[in-house]
């Protein structure tokens, strides 16, 4: 068989691979967006960006300036570790706002901001689980309460997405994936050698930090539930369609 006779077979194989890749991309888009419109995805991304900015900034202040005021030494291992974790979460803030800006200006697909939201959820779960392990474990750390709050937040966003896309039955199954991921990361942090006991933290500081983080978690959860589906908030991200001139 000549080389030219093999070309249709080769083209057919390439075509099948192209179709498979296209189907995979399409399924990924549907999984991430649930047929969300662009303005809806941007509104959700903006809410998550603001929550992440406030949450990480307040946490950073608690483990740096406030901890110093309560006499926690700068060389404390847990404090240095938590500062590094806060810096890492600062990278998610940059990613969130850059995605928000470029998604609005360049009209990126809704799957891009939705993917960044899921990435931020995963990063927060890992970061807070690690911070929990470095500050005494689940029974002692004031970061422990933030982990179930993160799960509650993403489940609220998923419920709102289901309502917007009118596909509630398919979205309910995702709750088990988020819960399973959170449980696995939590168990790894608790059972790993990373968990340490801390003895150089004043009790008054622990109580104050736990109180502030609890209030913060409740406030941002209510904010996500209240602001994300509001029609006027979504409309602020709706760009007018370009007009065609004769």
DSSP state string for the chain = --HHHHHHHHHHHHHHHHHHHHHHHHHHHHHHHSS--HHHHHHHHHHHHHHHHHHHHHHHHIIIIIHHHTT--TT-HHHHHHHHHHHHHHHHHHHHHHHHHHHHHHT--THHHHHHHHHHHHHHHHHHHHHHHHTT-TTT-TTTTHHHHHHHHHHHHHHHHHHHHT-HHHHHTHHHHHHHHHHHHHHHHHHSTT-----SS-HHHHHHHHHHHHHHHHHHHHHHHHHTT-HHHHHTTPPPPPPPP-
The pLDDT of residue 20 is above 90: no
Residue 146: which pLDDT band, with cuts at 50, 70 and 90? very high
Give residue limits of the domains in the chain.
36-235
Name, of 79-93, 100-114, 160-174, the range with top average pLDDT.
79-93
The pLDDT of residue 176 is above 60: yes
Tens of pLDDT, residue by residue over 188-242, are 999 988 888 887 788 899 899 999 999 999 999 999 999 998 999 999 888 766 5
Better-predicted residue by pLDDT, 139 or 133: 133
* Confidence (pLDDT) at 246: 43
pLDDT averaged over every residue in the chain: 84
* Confidence (pLDDT) at 61: 95
Tens of pLDDT, residue by residue over 101-134, are 999 888 888 889 999 999 999 999 999 999 999 9
* Confidence (pLDDT) at 47: 96
* Confidence (pLDDT) at 82: 94
Q: Please state, in angstroms and as integers, the Cα–Cα distance from residue 225 to each residue in 150, 159, 161, following that order.
A: 13, 10, 11
């Amino acid at each position: 068989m000549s080389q030219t006779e093999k070309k249709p077979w080769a083209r057919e194989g390439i075509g099948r691979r192209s179709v498979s890749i296209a189907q995979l991309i399409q399924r990924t888009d549907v999984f991430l967006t649930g047929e969300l419109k662009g303005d809806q995805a941007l509104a959700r991304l903006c809410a998550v960006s603001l929550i992440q900015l406030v949450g990480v900034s307040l946490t950073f202040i608690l483990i740096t300036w406030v901890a110093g005021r309560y006499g926690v030494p700068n060389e404390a291992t847990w404090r240095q570790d938590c500062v590094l974790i806060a810096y890492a979460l600062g990278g998610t803030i940059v990613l969130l706002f850059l995605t928000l800006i470029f998604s609005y200006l360049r009209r990126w697909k809704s799957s891009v901001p939705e993917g960044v939201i899921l990435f931020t959820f995963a990063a927060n779960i890992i970061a807070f689980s690690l911070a929990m392990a470095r500050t005494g474990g689940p029974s002692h750390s004031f970061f422990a309460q933030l982990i179930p709050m993160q799960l509650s937040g993403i489940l609220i966003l998923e419920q709102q997405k289901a309502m917007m896309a009118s596909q509630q039955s398919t979205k309910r199954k995702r709750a088990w994936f988020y819960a399973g991921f959170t449980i696995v990361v939590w168990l790894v942090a608790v059972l790993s050698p990373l968990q340490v006991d801390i003895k150089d933290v004043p009790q008054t500081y622990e109580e104050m930090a736990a109180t502030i983080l609890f209030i913060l978690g409740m406030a941002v959860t209510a904010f996500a539930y209240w602001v994300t589906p509001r029609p006027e908030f979504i409309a602020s991200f709706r760009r007018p369609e370009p007009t065609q001139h004769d």
